[in-house]
Structure 1
Amino acid sequence: MKMKYYLRYFSVFTLLFLAFSCGNSDDDVNLDLNFGDGLGKGEPVDECLNLGESDLVLSIQEQYTTLPGKVSILFKVSDTDGNPISQLTANQFTIYEQGRNDECFNTISASESFARISPNSQIFNSNTLLVLDLSNSVLSSSLDELKTASVTFVNNVMPATTEESYKMAIYWFDGEDELHLLNDLTSSKEELVAAIDSITDDISNDPSTDLYGAVIKSTKIAEDLLKDNIKDDVIGAASVVVFTDGTDQASRYKEEEALKKVTEANGNISFFTIGLGAEIDTQVLSDIGKTYSVFAGNAEELENTFNDISLKISERANSFYLFEYCSPKRDGSGDNNLAIRVVDGSRQGAVQTKFSAKGFTGGCE
């Protein structure tokens, strides 16, 4: 089936990076959505497979077929607490198919079916918005430490080699009613690092802090990015990372407005906050950073806190897998059930879906 077919349904649901806050934990699978037990477009596996209780959750985000016989499934892997599972390899997955004449599922050889984990760039984009507080208190006392920590953050989040599916933009705010663009969305680490290096202590003209305005505006930018992804037949996810060393002083927007914007944001957007010093409101920042929040007592701790956030973002991005294999089913077999199981050490999980083999022939690679 064509990708367009599936994406008609995607606009109704929010499929990626489903995050909600429970004691500021790192929760990825939103069980409140009408997706069964957090399985996305999948469903629990048939009992005939007798796979036992799952420790891992495979949430199918999208699936499609490509002639002559390739089946492609984009899914996310988490543990039962919602923590993302990254760095899985194709040999950790087992494929099962069930056709119309099969009482239960048959195991499909991973080698004979050319099973592989493929780059997901053709159908998935991961965008990060780094939003920096450059009010007077930061510029006068912790700018050098912030720049060092931000460069480390960029190097950790962005892939070692440039990939168009992973992009970052950097914004900054002070007391003005504007979210200033430091560097537009790009996949170039070098460009982002150069932008950070260009920050000087005289960049701001307003010493106040418009924190709530920055949260509202950056969320709107992230939502617009996801809309653009859908127009391009791409599933998008975004992370908004806000750094500040204080509370909102500009008072242009209410706290309730900012929190409402975060709470009602597209479920594909994750929110992280980094707080510095004794003047922050940790509860407010935890509410804004509903996915994960960290706090540094002084400027020297900034790099470590930025590292914590970068690890969380990388784990999330790398817990999405495009798993592909060549099915032995052929044209005329109709709809076939498919189950995918993953084993990671002592943990395992599985998910079931179905695909049509219409037009399938041999020769798939």
Structure 2
Amino acid sequence: MKTRLYLFVFSLVTSLFISCGNADDDVNFELNPGGDLGIGKPVDDCLDLGENDLILSIQDKFTTLPGKVSVFFRVSDAQGNPVAGLTADQFTIYEQGRNDDCFNTISTSESFARISPNSQIFSNNTLLVLDLSNSVLSNSLNELKTASISFIDNVMPESSQESFKMAIYWFDGEDELHLLQPLTPVKEELTLAVEGITPDISNDPSTDLYGAVIKSTNIAEDLLDGARANATISAASIVIFTDGTDQASRYSERDALQKVENADLNISFFTIGLGAEIDAEVLSEIGRTFSVFAGNKEELESTFNDISFRVSERANSYYLFEYCTPKRDGSGVNNLAIQVTDGSRQGAVQTEFNATGFTGGCQ
């Protein structure tokens, strides 16, 4: 599966011996906290659109002269699963001005409505965190390298894009999250880093899993803070692989789980467990977004591929929708509603925009 950028942007427990997963079942995953709709609100009843099967969570909105309105949002279903691959013709625009009793439909073609890639306002970062303790290095290193390269190939776009980056870290028993490959948009750099892992890379055979969870979360939150400082909307995914439980005991299970629970909502957490020595319950709590388990090393690549699909799908459920409004300077603040249809499912969200200074000529 290759990442398709119509936009630019970023279910569990059967058996330990069968690949399986758990997905978060809430819809409070938006970049802007405060509810499922982000900075949006429910659509006025006068439109009578019915119940929402899809959730449009507005992350940001802005206007550009002479008359462009831009709304950045993500789409999920009612269970919180991301909905990727939507196109402009699946959206209907409604506007309500000061003289309108209800909303009027705006022509998609006449308004030049489009889904626009814009890496200048969005960045999606993935942190791949690998357990390279002695049990992995001595028993499943080759399979892990193959699975990791497949993950990289599936998650990263074919052509390098600054809005999609990945870094690779690894941990053993030391009180350090080791950097294998700094954040990069270049797929080949990530692949070469994985290929360069050798059996003697670690000096401590133990497993500091909880430390890796805490430290990787700190790194992801620093990335989000840096993006905000540069006026960039950002999301991050942490993908942690391990074949066992925490043995180093430097940090408590409670501290690690609280770190995940209190983490920025912009961060998605995924876990991959291998073998019979993992603690599936703990890994499921750490992987609050999705977890997957493999019973043996031969299943590693398929489980990594499962997670890669989830990571890519989530990153591609963000949309920048732009259109040229017919409202002009003097009309003041106008209400805007966006409806999306996907087969038999629909969803809508309402917001507003200020048309001060708007004129014709927008394309």
Normalised by the length of structure 1, the TM-score is: 0.91
The separation in 1 between residues aligned to 2:255 and 2:339, in whole angstroms, is: 43
Equivalent pairs, count: 344
Equivalent pair of 1:43/1:353 in contact (CA under 8 Å)? yes
Match of 1:97 in 2: 95
Equivalent of 1:258 in 256, 259, 275? 256
Equivalent pair of 1:120/1:321 in contact (CA under 8 Å)? no
The separation in 2 between residues aligned to 1:193 and 1:216, in whole angstroms, is: 25
Note the alpha carbon deviations across 1:204-238, whole angstroms, 9 max, x for none.
Answer: 11111111111111110001000000001011111
Match of 1:137 in 2: 135
C-alpha root-mean-square deviation of aligned residues, in Å? 1.7
Are 1:363 and 2:340 an aligned pair? Answer: no
Match of 2:4 in 1: none
Are 1:67 and 2:86 an aligned pair? Answer: no
Tell me the secondary structure at the aligned position of residue 146 of structure 1: helix
Match of 1:339 in 2: 337
Within a 5 Å distance, the mapping from 1:258-337 to structure 2 comes to 258-337=256-335
Match of 1:188 in 2: 186
The separation in 2 between residues aligned to 1:341 and 1:330, in whole angstroms, is: 23
Match of 1:237 in 2: 235
Match of 1:35 in 2: 34
Equivalent pair of 2:29/2:266 in contact (CA under 8 Å)? no
Closer, same or farther in 2 for the Cα pair 1:280/1:31, shift >3 Å?
closer
Match of 1:224 in 2: 222
Deviation at 1:353, TM superposition (A): 0.5
The separation in 1 between residues aligned to 2:158 and 2:337, in whole angstroms, is: 33
Equivalent pair of 2:133/2:173 in contact (CA under 8 Å)? yes
Match of 1:44 in 2: 42
Most deviating of 315-324 and 120-129: 120-129
The separation in 2 between residues aligned to 1:272 and 1:291, in whole angstroms, is: 6
Deviation at 1:44, TM superposition (A): 0.9
The separation in 2 between residues aligned to 1:77 and 1:288, in whole angstroms, is: 24
Equivalent pair of 2:40/2:349 in contact (CA under 8 Å)? yes
The separation in 2 between residues aligned to 1:165 and 1:100, in whole angstroms, is: 39
Deviation at 1:35, TM superposition (A): 3.4
Closer, same or farther in 2 for the Cα pair 1:31/1:302, shift >3 Å?
closer
Closer, same or farther in 2 for the Cα pair 1:340/1:186, shift >3 Å?
same
Same amino acid, percent of matched pairs: 74
Deviation at 1:24, TM superposition (A): 3.7
The separation in 2 between residues aligned to 1:342 and 1:218, in whole angstroms, is: 35
Runs of 4 or more consecutive aligned structure 1 residues displaced over 6 Å after TM superposition? 31-34
Deviation at 1:31, TM superposition (A): 8.4
Tell me the secondary structure at the aligned position of residue 98 of structure 2: coil
The separation in 2 between residues aligned to 1:216 and 1:259, in whole angstroms, is: 9
Tell me the secondary structure at the aligned position of residue 137 of structure 1: helix
The separation in 2 between residues aligned to 1:359 and 1:27, in whole angstroms, is: 43
Note the alpha carbon deviations across 1:305-334, whole angstroms, 9 max, x for none.
Answer: 101111111111111100000111000000
Equivalent pair of 1:28/1:78 in contact (CA under 8 Å)? no
Match of 1:117 in 2: 115
The separation in 2 between residues aligned to 1:242 and 1:104, in whole angstroms, is: 49
| Paired letter, 1:276 | L
The separation in 2 between residues aligned to 1:30 and 1:270, in whole angstroms, is: 12
